[in-house]
Amino acid sequence: MSTDKVIGTKSKMEDLERDAIQKHEFTKFQTKNTVFLSSSSSFLFFIIFNLTFINLHQTQKT
């Protein structure tokens, strides 16, 4: 009786551990994606801003 209880508890602990690891991996993946997206969008914004600025500057010269 008591050994079944111990085995049950052990498997529950293993399940919880597995879930925690999966959640951690997913969070790590999400964080990487978020950082990548924010950096790439700011980079694109920077490029567009520069192109617009150069364009305006060229137009004013002529």
DSSP secondary structure of 1-27: -HHHHHHHHHHHHHHHHHHHHHHHHHH
Over the chain (62 residues), what is each successive 10-residue block's mean pLDDT? 65 87 83 80 89 82 62
Delimit the domains of the chain by residue range: 1-61
- Predicted confidence at residue 4, as pLDDT, reads 62
- Predicted confidence at residue 23, as pLDDT, reads 86
Q: What is the pTM of this model?
A: 0.40
Residue type, 5: K
User: What is the token pair recorded at 53?
Assistant: 């600025």
